[in-house]
A and B are shown apart, each in its own frame.
Chain A
Amino acid sequence: MAADEDPEPGPLVRMFAVTGGRARPVGEAFDVIAVVTTIGMPYDQAGLSPEHLAALRLATRPITVADIGTRLRLPLNITRVLLGDLRREGLVSIDPPAATAGVLNERIYQEVLNGLRAL
């Protein structure tokens, strides 16, 4: 596509700029339902985007990666890049979700079935 056909970058392109063009988070991979907790606040907020700071505020109470994305209206993989940055800076911890297939037991299955029926 010629440049003059696309004068304004779309919202996605602007968001991609927030991540510095990165599609993958730094460091160890984490689940979309991993639990994020803010463990520190930056001395100098200048280096962080408004999106980084918003994520930090949301995670002052533990919250999943997917929920942060929803609250910030950001695509999940962009959310993950931001959270990877915050983890690298030592500002958040990212813990695996409690329920992985291995720990789903009879009691949990039954609870999920009961819960769904009661909706």
Chain B
Amino acid sequence: MDYARSDTLAIKILIAGGFGVGKTTMVSAVSEIQPLSTEELLSDRGARVDDTSGVEAKTTTTVALDFGRITLREGLWIYLFGTPGQDRFWFMWDELAIGALGAVVLADTRRLGDAFPAVDFFEQRRIPYMVAVNLFDGARRHDPAVIRRALAVPAHVPLVPCDARDRESAKEVLLTLVRHAREMSRVGAN
């Protein structure tokens, strides 16, 4: 990591989705560093927790956050952030999403509904996103068109199957996202 050079660039990609959908697994599959998985302490929006007497259990909560990094070349990095899409944590997503290249919404066909909040979030904020359907063993395969309809994902948004444990598969997902984000930026520029 040498930020002394002027042509250095850090790119942020978000991995969203419900609990147990494979976010940590996917970040681990592509990160060059042992991903840092932390419990982030959050104070509820607006609430100030600067009471020096200690932790105010009522005004704080925790959320898991995975962080990984990919060096593409000296001076060009992708930073991956994985965290659950859940209503009470959106303020954290609002911060993470600033300047992000785009987002991967991981979905599990057995619990498709868990992907709704994340899809909504990125739709509303016009952040380029895609859906990656993590193909768990034993889960029934679904027609992509059926999943797309169930999630109300527009036709131009990529929706692809993946295996979050597999580095090549995770790489392919990121490639799809970057191509899509580039496409969106072209459309936006016109």
Contacts and interface: CB of A to CB of B under 8 A. Distances in A.
Contact of A75 (B12, B38, B70, B174): B38
Contacts of A73: 36
Contact of B72 (A64, A75, A111): A111
Interface string B152-180: 00000000000000000001001100110
B69 interface: yes
A20 B175 CA distance: 42
Nearest to B79: A33
A37 B1 CA distance: 13
Give the interface SS of chain B, mostly helix, strand, loop or mixed. mixed
A75 B60 CA distance: 14
A17 interface: yes
B135 to A, nearest CB: 21
Contacts of B185: 101, 104, 109
Interface string B100-122: 11000000000000000000000
Given A64-B79, A97-B99, A112-B178, A21 B54 contact: yes
A81 B113 CA distance: 35
A100 B12 CA distance: 9
A22 interface: yes
B2 interface: yes
A76 interface: yes
Contact of B36 (A63, A70, A111): A70
A43 B76 CA distance: 36
Contact of B175 (A37, A64, A102, A116): A116
B72 A101 contact: no
A117 B175 contact: yes
A61 B4 CA distance: 8
B25 interface: no
A62 B3 contact: yes
Interface in A78-119: 78, 96-102, 104, 106, 108-113, 115-119
A32 B55 contact: no
Interface of A: 12-13, 15-17, 20-24, 29, 31-33, 35, 37, 61-64, 66-67, 69-70, 73-78, 96-102, 104, 106, 108-113, 115-119
Interface of B: 1-4, 8-12, 30, 33, 36, 38-43, 48-56, 60, 62, 65, 67, 69-70, 72-73, 76, 78-79, 81, 95-96, 98-101, 171, 174-175, 178-179, 181-182, 185
Given A67-B69, A70-B33, A75-B39, 16 more contacts: A16-B41, A23-B42, A23-B49, A33-B10, A64-B3, A64-B79, A70-B67, A75-B38, A75-B40, A77-B42, A97-B9, A100-B98, A109-B181, A113-B175, A113-B182, A116-B72
